[in-house]
Amino acid sequence: MKKITIKLLSLFAVVLLLNGCGEADPIIYSGPTFVSFTDGVLGDYFVQEDNTPFPIQVGIPSPAGSEVTVNLNVLYASGTAGTHYDVPASVTIPTGSVTAEFNITGYFANMSGRKDTLIIEMVSADTASFNTVYTLYLQQFCPFVLDDFVGAWTAYEKSDYEDDPYPPYTINFALVPGEANTLVTEDIWPFFPIKVVFNADDPANFYWNIPDQFLVDDLLGYGEARAVDLGNGPFSSCDQTASIRYKVYVAAGNFEQSTLELVKD
């Protein structure tokens, strides 16, 4: 009976606690207005053929009773305004709003072979003491062509289990008939074919994967071995570079876990 009573009392206490923990009242900021970049301070702008602009957002902590305008000043540019890029002179947050966007426009036709850096600062009595300088990297968009990735690459690999990187070695990629955006190599783990898949759906976020896949029935007596990536790896169609983290594993644990960086020969 004692145990039951304790359980009932405990349950009653939990009910009271839950009933007393409703939704918290929202905290409304009432301090001075300040403007900052609200979506990070670094960006990569791959300028497409139609010159689709790159949006950058600024914001304030709570709606203001009037428009908030800040000037935009170019601190540094490796390109030329009007030829490689354009930046507006200012951005205005409308009355009652907390965010606004302005666009950087790059000019595809003038950026062949270029990589430019643009650093912009906000200038206003209302700017914050943080996140007021934005760095944007611009280059001409290079479409993904799978055939460009076929052939020899130089591999630079650092194992999590070794003090020093492996010596650079060659990886050869070949097409996989009937499998879209897929290549295969036998050079990452010699004699075991490993397929890799490229994704170019988002022009600003090309990535590739090593899907979880079978390698061999028995690896050195430890049973079936498989390979898989440890997350998406970025690649560049312009630079012909790619990197990824992956592992080779068996039921008992990992045989390899490393960072692989590739440069097209």
**172-218: pLDDT as tens digits:** 999 999 999 999 999 998 889 999 999 999 887 899 999 999 999 99
The last residue of one of the domains, among 125, 140, 155, is: 140
234 pLDDT more than 90: yes
pLDDT cut 90: percent of the chain above it? 80
- Confidence (pLDDT) at 4: 27
**Is residue 232 domain-shared with residue 257, that is, in the same domain?**
yes
User: Which of 27, 30, 40, 31 lies closest to 130 in space, CA to CA?
Assistant: 40
The percent of the chain in helix, strand and coil, each rounded to the nearest 5, is 10, 45, 45
Tell me the mean pLDDT in the region 34-57.
94
| Residues ≥6 apart with Cβ < 8 Å to 146 | 175, 181, 183, 198
CA distance 112 to 254: 44
- Confidence (pLDDT) at 240: 93
Tell me the mean pLDDT in the region 110-135.
94
CA distance 149 to 76: 34
CA 225 to chain centroid: 30
Tell me the mean pLDDT in the region 44-55.
93
**Is residue 74 domain-shared with residue 169, that is, in the same domain?**
no
Q: Which of 22-26, 79-83, 245-249 has the lowest mean pLDDT?
A: 22-26
Token output for 5: 């009573």
Tell me the mean pLDDT in the region 159-178.
97
| Residues ≥6 apart with Cβ < 8 Å to 155 | 168, 169, 170, 171, 187, 188, 260, 261, 262
Q: How many domains does the chain have?
A: 2
- Confidence (pLDDT) at 5: 29
- Confidence (pLDDT) at 26: 57
Does any domain span residue 17?
no
The last residue of one of the domains, among 103, 122, 140, is: 140
- Confidence (pLDDT) at 28: 56
6 pLDDT more than 70: no
CA distance 248 to 52: 41
Answer for the pair 206, 235: CB distance below 8 angstroms, yes or no. yes
Residues 11-32: tens digit of each pLDDT: 333 333 444 555 555 555 556 7
Answer for the pair 120, 87: CB distance below 8 angstroms, yes or no. yes
**Is residue 131 domain-shared with residue 202, that is, in the same domain?**
no
The last residue of one of the domains, among 100, 117, 140, is: 140
**Is residue 207 domain-shared with residue 233, that is, in the same domain?**
yes
- Confidence (pLDDT) at 259: 98
CA distance 216 to 225: 5
Domain range for residue 218?
146-264
Query: Distances from the Cα of 188 to the Cαs of 14, 19, 157, 169, 196, in angstroms?
Result: 56, 58, 10, 9, 11
Tell me the one-letter amino acid at 33. T
Answer for the pair 54, 46: CB distance below 8 angstroms, yes or no. no
**Is residue 172 domain-shared with residue 258, that is, in the same domain?**
yes
Q: Taking the model in full, what pTM does it have? A: 0.68
Residue in this structure with the two tokens 């009595």, named with its chain if needed: 125
Does any domain span residue 171?
yes
Does any domain span residue 1?
no
Average pLDDT value over all residues in the chain = 89
Output DSSP code: residue 109.
G
Does any domain span residue 13?
no
- Confidence (pLDDT) at 24: 58
16 sits in the region (left: phi over 0; alpha: psi -120 to 50; else beta) called alpha
Does any domain span residue 19?
no
CA distance 167 to 158: 9
- Confidence (pLDDT) at 238: 87
**Is residue 118 domain-shared with residue 154, that is, in the same domain?**
no
